[in-house]
Amino acid sequence: MSKPLILVTNDDGITAPGLRMLIRFMRELGDVVVVAPDSPQSGMGHAITIDSTLYSKKVVIDPEHGAPEEYSCSGTPADCVKLALQELLPRRPDLCVSGINHGSNASINVIYSGTMSAAIEAGIEGIPAIGFSLCDYSWDADFTPTREAILKITAEALNNGIPPGVVLNVNIPRTKGQPVQGIRICRQARANWKERFDKRMSPGGREYYWLTGEFELLDKGKDTDHWALSQGYVSVVPTQFDLTAHHAIQDLNNWTLNE
């Protein structure tokens, strides 16, 4: 039997250490094709390119590891998946994995994440998809300890499938050399960013702003991704791209809109 075909992408760029490690992990499970941004695209969310051209080229990044088929793309993470599915892949992939992101995509961060948007784009097309993130923002973060959890979750997804309309958001704690406590299926913690803009002046005398802020946890539940990560667990949140607030439909039906 042929091996499963796995599409690998990310938002940190095709040379990012997290992506390079994820490629090595995925090659233990199947045939890999990589389509990733040619430069960092963090925080792009689900942006797509509609008003300029897209470029893609075949590249070889790690020849010493028996390089898989790889393409760099000038667009966003969502662009990469669209282009991969429509133009670059030899056949429909069995799975799409995105990451390993440098930094957390737990809680409200999932809204802004290019990593998760790439996975969600695959999910929209009916392809099982997972976004992986390590809670360490360092470029030289140690991704080696993520191997066991990533391989276990990916193998389960390949063997059992992922429910239709669902994409998995997986976050891995920074354990500082300690083993993870396990894997928890969680809900997304309710949280927000208390944002502010740092106003500065350029050498040319022009004002500019630098976005900053603090994470504000609004959820004390012990069934959330934030709690699981704080306790040393890998969090797995089933995320859907149907944004309908189904619970609010009845309330809105009580409005007198047609009178």
Q: Is residue 143 part of a domain?
A: yes
CA–CA gap between residue 144 and residue 132 (Å, rounded): 13
Dig out the tokens for 82 from the structure: 């669209």
Residue 164 domain-assigned (yes or no): yes
Tell me, yes or no, whether 97 lies in a domain: yes
pLDDT tens for 234-259 read 999 999 999 999 999 999 999 988 87
- Does 208 map to a domain? no
The pLDDT of residue 62 is 81
Token reading at 45 = 């969310």
Has 12 been labeled as part of a binding site?
yes
Note whether residue 201 is domain-resident.
no
For residue 71, the model assigns a pLDDT of 97
The total number of structural domains that make up the chain: 1
Domain that holds residue 97: 5-189+221-244
Binding site annotation covers 101? Answer: yes
pTM (two decimals): 0.93
CATH classification at residue 170: 3.40.1210.10
Q: Report whether 11 belongs to an annotated binding site.
A: yes
What is the rounded CA–CA span in Å between residue 157 and residue 24? 18
Q: Which residues of the chain have pLDDT under 50?
A: none
Residues near 215 by Cβ (< 8 Å), separated by ≥ 6?
Answer: 107, 191, 193, 194
Is 42 among the annotated ligand-binding positions? yes
Give me the pLDDT at residue 175, please.
84
Give a yes or no: residue 199 inside a domain: no
In a domain, 101, yes or no: yes
Do residues 74 and 114 lie in contact, with contact meaning Cβ atoms separated by under 8 Å?
no
